[in-house]
Amino acid sequence: MSKVLNDVRYAESHEWVRIEGEFAYVGISDYAQHALGNIVYVDMPEVGDEVEQGEEFGAVESVKAASDLFSPISGEVVEINEALEDAPELVNEDAYENWIMKVKFNDAAELDNLLDAEAYAKICEH
């Protein structure tokens, strides 16, 4: 069973977002990293890029497949997790601790478009 956290919101495309003040940390869910298998590369946006909710912002590649990443929230990328450039497998070790990008978000109402842990867990059961 994949780990689903209660303090984050989820996109149906398996990205998560955790809000801390005016910033949002974004990564992929434990379910997604299990489905992908051994992650070998994470394509991340550049600091300063604008991301839009539901729009592609990067990709994750594993030995099995490549999967596009879609932003669960809109805003400006203020930081990327540089550790993933040299060690993308960190996402496999802990998908929630090893976020992909940090965004200064501009519309908290967008969180209403995302799933809570209970709703996301139901999607993962199918």
Q: How many domains does the chain have?
A: 1
For residues 105 and 87, the answer to whether their CB atoms sit within 8 Å is no
Whether residue 33 is contained in a domain is answered as: yes
Count CB atoms within 10 A of the CB of residue 40. 15
pLDDT 10s digits, 74-124: 999 999 999 999 999 999 999 999 999 999 999 999 999 999 999 999 999
Give the structural domain span for 63.
Answer: 9-110
Whether residue 41 is contained in a domain is answered as: yes
Which tokens go with 74? 């809109």
pLDDT score, position 125: 87
pLDDT score, position 1: 61
Residue-level length of the chain: 126
Q: Tokens 């209660």 identify what position?
A: 6
For residues 87 and 93, the answer to whether their CB atoms sit within 8 Å is no
> How far lies 10's CA from each of 38, 56, 110, in Å?
22, 15, 12
Angle at 91 between CA 108 and CA 120, to 5 degrees: 50
What CATH code is carried by the domain that includes residue 16? 2.40.50.100
| Cα radius of gyration rounded to whole Å, the chain | 13
pLDDT 10s digits, 44-84: 999 999 999 999 999 999 999 999 999 999 999 999 999 99
**Assessment of whether the complete model's pTM goes beyond 0.85:** yes
Which tokens go with 105? 């978000």
| Average pLDDT over the chain, rounded to an integer | 96
Residue 2 has pLDDT above 90, yes or no: no
> How far lies 56's CA from each of 3, 69, 71, 77, 85, in Å?
24, 5, 6, 13, 19
In whole angstroms, give the CA distance from residue 58 to residue 69. Answer: 5
Whether residue 124 is contained in a domain is answered as: no
Q: Which amino acid is at 35?
A: A
Whether residue 126 is contained in a domain is answered as: no
